[in-house]
Amino acid sequence: MDNYGTLHETDGRYTLRFERFFPFNLEYVFGVIINPGDFSQWYPFATGEMDLRPGGKIAFNDGEGTTYEGIITELKKPHTFCFQEVDDLIQISLLEEEEGARMIFTHTFDDKTMAVNTAAGWHRCLSVLTQIIKGDPIEWQDNSAELRKVYSENFV
């Protein structure tokens, strides 16, 4: 398995950082990332309701009765999509490369004790995003325990 995320600390906050390469052009990859129907398939609790503009809202529902909103803080097509979800910041940036697009996905948060579980979750979500971008059928792998083990070793 590859494409593991890394954990960084800055000013008392923690950031998980993942990179993925897609052999497709920037516009296509960005379009999939911000498409509400696709977003709700790979991003946890997303309902598909999105107002795609800076200051726009993204609706979330945890399936157990809790609904909340994220606020889009930056949207620069086809390079940057950032939003705040409660106190966390999600930043998705795309860089054009010769053979496609490199995505840098970061999640900044406060509670380091959540890093291992969060990293394992994002790893799985980004695998599904990759499947969607490639046009493959969506298959959620049952590898959470394995990923938590790897991340707990990596984040010592």
- Using the predicted structure, report yes or no on whether residue 34 has a pLDDT greater than 60: yes
pLDDT at residue 38 tops 80: yes
Confidence band, pLDDT 50/70/90 cuts, at residue 71: very high
75 pLDDT tier (thresholds 50, 70, 90): very high
Q: What confidence tens digit (pLDDT) does each residue in 98-137 have? A: 999 999 999 999 999 999 999 999 999 999 999 999 999 9
pLDDT computed for residue 1 by the predictor: 44
What number is the average pLDDT over the span 91-101?
96
Task: Record the tokens describing residue 43, joined without a space.
Answer: 């991003």
pLDDT at 2: 63
Question: Which pLDDT belongs to residue 11?
Answer: 92
Torsion over CA: 40, 45, 47, 53 (sign): negative
Q: What is the residue extent of each domain of the chain?
A: 6-154
- pLDDT at residue 3, as a whole number: 86
Q: What is the pTM of this model?
A: 0.95
CATH architecture of structural domain 6-154:
2-Layer Sandwich (3.30)
> Count of residues for the chain?
156
